Structure 1
Amino acid sequence: MEPIGVLNDGQIYDLQTAEALNIQGEVIKADNSKESLEILRHSCAHLMAQAIKELYPEAKFFVGPVVSEGFYYDFKVESKISDEDLPKIEKKMKELANAKLPIERYEASREEISQKFNSDELKQAVLSRITDDTLTMYKQGDFEDLCRGPHLPNTRMIRSFKLTRVAGAYLGGDEKNEMITRIYGIAFFDKQELFDYVKMLEEAKKRDHRKLGTELELFTFSDDVGAGLPMWLPNGARLRSKLEHILYKAHRVRGYEPVRGPEILKSKMWDISGHNANYSQNMYYTTIDEQQYAMKPMNCVGHIQIFKNSLVSYKDLPKKLFEYGVVHRHEMSGAMHGLFRVREFTQDDSHIFCTQDQMKDVIFEVLEFVDAVLKLFDFKYEIEVSTKPEKAIGDDMFWEKTTKGIMDALDEKNITYGIDEGGGAFYGPKIDIKILDAIGRKWQCGTVQVDMNLPSRFEAEYINEKGEKEQPVMIHRAILGSFERFIGILTEHCAGEFPFVIAPTQVIFVPIADTHNEYAKELQNELLQNSMDSKIFNMNESLNKRIRMAEKQRVPMIVVIGDEEVENKTVALRDRRKREQSNMGKTEFIQMLNEINKGSEI
């Protein structure tokens, strides 16, 4: 395979940059590795921009980075571009790729580039974000752009690509700026990889939780209420409540104590925690009695105050507090996406206060809890350790010691993990749980974060064996991450076919005639007494149509009731998941459903 770059100390360099800066390292080949795909996709973004420039000569370009789902470019044109225009842009991209244009790197002074793009306000905006005096440009054919790279040597290597969607984006991600156009795309070296990815995208469209959420009447959004503020409809609220109850019991049997913190705290608390200095752009503020307050973006500060409320002995540790905590975060309008990114959400949040000696055992116990929950919903998962981010509190010694402690704990149990450089929380390193859904997508959900900064800042203490005050280790922990995001992921994972234990409606009764309604209501009441939800489809439609309507609701079980069932106190059961039909007595039926529910205990 052809060499396309060099990997040195975790940094990717294309061949031109490596030669210019005399950089040696591991050779990157065109082999669909993570590093090779980054080079390919960066080059494909420029190829897309070149095609757009030829089709829309007035186009001006902002930035075109590689992202987890491929690449995108932000730009503006006078014409309105929609998804229908993507095939035309793809066709032009293929022409340019077939022209086998060399991709050339050259350096220029800041002044030269500023002069070159003196009438391009988007390029001037890019320049304002860069402090270097000497900058790099990449050129292919008539197209050139300010860029650090890395890029392929030639457009001939860009063969298997697809533009996936058009979106709007605020310039520089700032809502105060103008809205410009963004086009997303994907590229692979291997044609089969692209085919498989496109197939996955098609399946993802069918599973889109926003579409299914509307069809199954789970949740809704309203511009009148506000963007990013989901409203849970009865079906969705029942599903969510079942999930909450399963987790509540699982917490209690593991020794967690429920607590509840306020949703708004004085701003001085966020000064102490470091949120005002490191997270203020994501927070909402207000003034009460001439004092500044902030809506909580996280639950940790309230839990520290609850821990400090009483004298804690070393015999009380580890002390596990948990809350279904409602938090608010100021997300950009362009970033919000159904339940995946919202401005108000509820975390299945916990903070565990322990000694340093207990830290490993606490981490192992949390990972066991995570494993039990994810197995219940048939999720596979991966683990990553996230290290110190650019914005952080605490000295380097704290970060090195704590990060090493996490890795040592995982190594001790032979737990495989990856490294997410710079992905830690601003107050400490963390273990991130990445779940894999039914069509192979990876999602960030649960997290375990080790923190000695916040206990120190808030002077949280316990009485040790010597009768002296000592600072505990604080472990931030969420398993689902948030109910909103997890339910969105779960909806797509199971395509709306929710497991029986959390299905909004677990059984639909279909009485054949009005004379069978009373027995259907009797069954419905008995299920409700056993904490199970059902509906009766006795509308004025034919039996076959009502059964088809029930099927579309994706309920686990449908029960048809006729004369024989009323007379013998039985049910004619259709198990949609097992594709089986059976007859059984009422008592046996309810006992069977209770056994299924018991199987959900974690």
Structure 2
Amino acid sequence: MQLSSKTWTAAFSFLLRRNCYISSSSSVSAPLLLRPLRPLLLHRSNHAMVPHPKDDAYLDTVIPKRIKLFEAIQAQQRAHLQITLPGGQEKEGKRWITSPFDIAREISKSLASNALISEVNGVLWDMNRPLEGDCTLKIFKFEDDVGRDTFWHSSAHILGQALEVEYGCKLCIGPCTTRGEGFYYDAFYGDLGLNDEHFKEIVSAAEKGVKGKQPFERIEVSREQALEIFSDNQFKVEIINDLPADKTITVYRCGPLVDLCRGPHIPNTSFVKAFACLKASSAYWRGNKDRESLQRVYGISYPDKKSLQLYIQRLEEAKKYDHRLLGTKQELFFCHPLSPGSWFFLPNGARIYKKLMAFIQNQYIERGYHEVISPNVYNMQLWETSGHAANYKENMFWFLRVRSYRELPLRLADFGVLHRNEASGALTGLTRVRRFQQDDAHIFCRESQVKDEVKGVLEFIQYTYDIFGFTFDLKLSTRPEKYLGDVATWEKAEAALTEALNESGKPWQLNEGDGAFYGPKIDISVSDALNRKFQCATLQLDFQLPTRFELYYSAEGEEGKRETPVMIHRAILGFVERMFAILLEHYKGKWPFWLSPRQAIVCPVSDKSQPYALEVRDRIHKAGYYVDVDTSDRTIQKKVREAQIAQYNYILVVGEEEVKTGQVSLRVRDKGDVTVMSMENLLQHFKAEVEAFH
């Protein structure tokens, strides 16, 4: 009998699957398991069927030897896992078995009960995910930015679970709020409109998930598997189809919720001890007004109930000082539907706006910047060359003119008016606008000058924020997934920023993968009087765009030699409108004297002292200060009270006695005491207040 090759293959495969199973954990030896196949282990010779002469030796010695060696090496590798903790402390573990949680538990019970997330060789890592090799390990709690962001990201999944279970909606995306507090989840609800009345049901469903101590379980899936899992959700399908071909796709399960997510997450839901819904608003899928209309539910959570109560109290306090309310009350600015997102600044608001600009401009003179004025509109070719068009980034200033190395560093600043086509639903007072002005500047320098220039910008930021009364944090944001240039250049740029940060003397954190597409950056997050964080200043190091725009300078030494400069993008205020809003809420409407639009008001006691009041006003005005006079027929008590409500820094009362002596009776805002001053001393006091930025 003769058999075809195809028949041989099919027969052998069937019998092998049916009769042979090798398991390293089995107590039965491999040769015994293979023995039923021995009569069938044949070789073909002239199509004749004869037993293989080396069959028994091969099965009895070679395969067991391989398995034994494999298990020995595997055991050896698992037994030699070296873990380095911050500070250089070392721990041992087993590969694919030991998890960050095991290490936390070994260090202390307190750390194990509070550890939310870890970082393994610079990559965020679930606490229960086994370690795969020798590594450096960091463990984060809620007090750390990374831990807090992970906590809120995981809370978004708890919110998503509640929304899906309660309303059968189609979930879209659910991140923690960028550089803010809390989280949100966007979802498609069809005809259902959410409002505050639904929050009780949502919180109740979320608390059930918390009490269930649901673990966050992670799996990696193929694109086909991901599409099958989320085949009933067109939003998730769109996300999956847009992922790069080589992207590892991960899916997390938390109780009944199975969600597409790159993670990582906290160990389980029981870490979330306090949960609340804040508000619901409309949103568009992917921010496109022509796409599906979604609803966004915002939430906040904490590892203890006391922290949530304090947050709610702080939120209520902040509402009283919302810049939109204060701006209307103080007649600073307004917005009109004919130009949404582009704010009109009234005289008092314009005073503050110009003061902020003047402060930065005066610092430019001190710090060697040259101010320029650039166009608002460019040919699209500019943005295509720079890469901004492809990456949806904002504008950059550029110029063409041969420069010498002797002129570097060259610091060019531009208070350019910019326009961004923000969606109408995204516009939020002065903090999210369409027309804005940025204190933009670009420093062109040699590589050897980068460190000193970066340190100089950091000192500029420190000086400015000290005056405003801000504290701030520094983060080094490194190469993102989409970037220009080569890895070696990026590593050089990141090393330069790292060195400058280390020498600045201020603590900083690493923010992996969040750099601009053209270079790494230092993100500056400020905290105001209400303990809220804002992103204002920025410092970006750019080796890419000077090359793309073919910028160069004549190099030192060899004649005719050209070199490409390094460019530093930087802003101190960020954009003026947003800083205006932050400062208005930070000061709770009580502007410091140097920045105030209402520095003083003169209040005559009666008609007899009114001419002198006008003289006082004119003299103060001539000295360069913002001063008004109340010539109404109200009583002096009412005049003073109105001046206090209007937030004048100084109230100058003049009566018959002041007219005789040429003095003024000075009242300080929010204080009851009165000081009598001569005009000379008053103006000297005002000057000292401005010079000290009080």
- Please confirm whether the aligned pair reaches a TM-score higher than 0.5, indicating the same fold: yes
Deviates more, 1:562-571 or 1:43-52: 43-52
1:48 — aligned with what? Answer: 159
Matched, 1:500 2:625: no
Matched, 1:539 2:632: yes
1:589 — aligned with what? Answer: 682
Q: Distance in 2 between matches of 1:60 and 1:149?
A: 20
- Is the contact between residue 389 and residue 422 of structure 1 (CA under 8 Å) also seen in structure 2? yes
Q: Distance in 2 between matches of 1:103 and 1:314?
A: 56
- Is the contact between residue 530 and residue 594 of structure 1 (CA under 8 Å) also seen in structure 2? no
2:41 — aligned with what? Answer: none
- CA, structure 1 residues 49+267, in 2 after alignment: closer, same or farther (shift >3 Å)? closer
1:480 match: secondary structure: strand
TM-score normalised by structure 2 residue count: 0.75
1:53-111 Cα distance to aligned partner (Å, 9 max, x none): 4543x433222222342221112333322234323422343344345556666777766
Deviation at 1:502, TM superposition (A): 1.0
- CA, structure 1 residues 268+235, in 2 after alignment: closer, same or farther (shift >3 Å)? same
1:74 — aligned with what? Answer: 186
- Is the contact between residue 272 and residue 304 of structure 2 (CA under 8 Å) also seen in structure 1? no
**Could you tell me which amino acid in structure 2 is paired with residue 537 of structure 1?**
D
Matched, 1:391 2:505: no
- Aligned equivalent of 1:444, options 524, 535, 541: 535
1:442-478 Cα distance to aligned partner (Å, 9 max, x none): 2222222222322222232333332433332222222
Deviates more, 1:239-248 or 1:132-141: 132-141
Q: Distance in 2 between matches of 1:599 and 1:176?
A: 52
Deviation at 1:26, TM superposition (A): 4.5
2:573 match: secondary structure: coil
- Aligned equivalent of 1:178, options 281, 292, 302: 292
**Could you tell me which amino acid in structure 1 is paired with residue 389 of structure 2?**
N
- Aligned equivalent of 1:300, options 393, 397, 418: 397
Q: Distance in 2 between matches of 1:509 and 1:84?
A: 51
- CA, structure 1 residues 251+577, in 2 after alignment: closer, same or farther (shift >3 Å)? farther
- CA, structure 1 residues 200+129, in 2 after alignment: closer, same or farther (shift >3 Å)? farther
Q: Distance in 1 between matches of 2:288 and 2:382?
A: 27
Matched, 1:324 2:415: yes
Q: Distance in 2 between matches of 1:252 and 1:499?
A: 23
1:89 — aligned with what? Answer: 202
Deviates more, 1:113-122 or 1:317-326: 113-122
1:571 — aligned with what? Answer: 664
- Aligned equivalent of 2:359, options 243, 246, 251: 246
Q: Distance in 1 between matches of 2:219 and 2:492?
A: 42
Q: Distance in 2 between matches of 1:412 and 1:454?
A: 27
Q: Distance in 1 between matches of 2:265 and 2:407?
A: 57
Q: Distance in 2 between matches of 1:436 and 1:95?
A: 34
Q: Distance in 1 between matches of 2:407 and 2:135?
A: 55
Q: Distance in 2 between matches of 1:83 and 1:555?
A: 39
Q: Distance in 2 between matches of 1:102 and 1:368?
A: 45
1:481 match: secondary structure: strand
Deviation at 1:375, TM superposition (A): 1.7
- CA, structure 1 residues 127+453, in 2 after alignment: closer, same or farther (shift >3 Å)? closer
Deviation at 1:120, TM superposition (A): 4.3
- Is the contact between residue 335 and residue 341 of structure 1 (CA under 8 Å) also seen in structure 2? yes
- Aligned equivalent of 1:273, options 379, 383, 386: 386
Deviation at 1:278, TM superposition (A): 2.4
1:151-193 Cα distance to aligned partner (Å, 9 max, x none): 5565444321222221221112222212211111121213333
TM-score normalised by structure 1 residue count: 0.86
Q: Distance in 1 between matches of 2:652 and 2:372?
A: 41
1:423 — aligned with what? Answer: 514
- CA, structure 1 residues 59+409, in 2 after alignment: closer, same or farther (shift >3 Å)? closer
**Could you tell me which amino acid in structure 2 is paired with residue 79 of structure 1?**
L
1:244-280 Cα distance to aligned partner (Å, 9 max, x none): 222222211322222111111222222322222323x
1:408 — aligned with what? Answer: 499
Q: Distance in 2 between matches of 1:148 and 1:389?
A: 15
- CA, structure 1 residues 274+475, in 2 after alignment: closer, same or farther (shift >3 Å)? same
- Is the contact between residue 557 and residue 576 of structure 1 (CA under 8 Å) also seen in structure 2? yes
- CA, structure 1 residues 579+13, in 2 after alignment: closer, same or farther (shift >3 Å)? farther
Q: Distance in 2 between matches of 1:299 and 1:358?
A: 21
Question: Which of the pair has more CA radius of gyration?
Answer: 2
**Could you tell me which amino acid in structure 2 is paired with residue 459 of structure 1?**
E
- Is the contact between residue 8 and residue 23 of structure 1 (CA under 8 Å) also seen in structure 2? no
Deviation at 1:401, TM superposition (A): 0.8
Q: Distance in 1 between matches of 2:462 and 2:579?
A: 15
- CA, structure 1 residues 70+533, in 2 after alignment: closer, same or farther (shift >3 Å)? same
Q: Distance in 1 between matches of 2:320 and 2:156?
A: 27
- Is the contact between residue 259 and residue 322 of structure 1 (CA under 8 Å) also seen in structure 2? yes
Identity over aligned pairs, percent: 37
**Could you tell me which amino acid in structure 2 is paired with residue 62 of structure 1?**
C
Q: Distance in 2 between matches of 1:252 and 1:40?
A: 45
Matched, 1:61 2:152: no
- Aligned equivalent of 1:264, options 360, 377, 396: 377
**Could you tell me which amino acid in structure 2 is paired with residue 521 of structure 1?**
L
- Aligned equivalent of 1:159, options 256, 273, 283: 273
**Could you tell me which amino acid in structure 2 is paired with residue 212 of structure 1?**
L
Deviation at 1:204, TM superposition (A): 2.1
1:288 — aligned with what? Answer: none
Deviation at 1:479, TM superposition (A): 1.3
- Is the contact between residue 218 and residue 250 of structure 2 (CA under 8 Å) also seen in structure 1? no
Q: Distance in 2 between matches of 1:549 and 1:377?
A: 27
Q: Distance in 1 between matches of 2:205 and 2:672?
A: 49
- Is the contact between residue 662 and residue 679 of structure 2 (CA under 8 Å) also seen in structure 1? yes
- Is the contact between residue 278 and residue 392 of structure 1 (CA under 8 Å) also seen in structure 2? no
Bigger relative contact order, structure 1 or 2 (CA pairs below 8 A, ≥6 apart): 1
Matched, 1:370 2:470: no
**Could you tell me which amino acid in structure 2 is paired with residue 326 of structure 1?**
V
Deviates more, 1:91-100 or 1:172-181: 91-100
Deviation at 1:235, TM superposition (A): 0.9
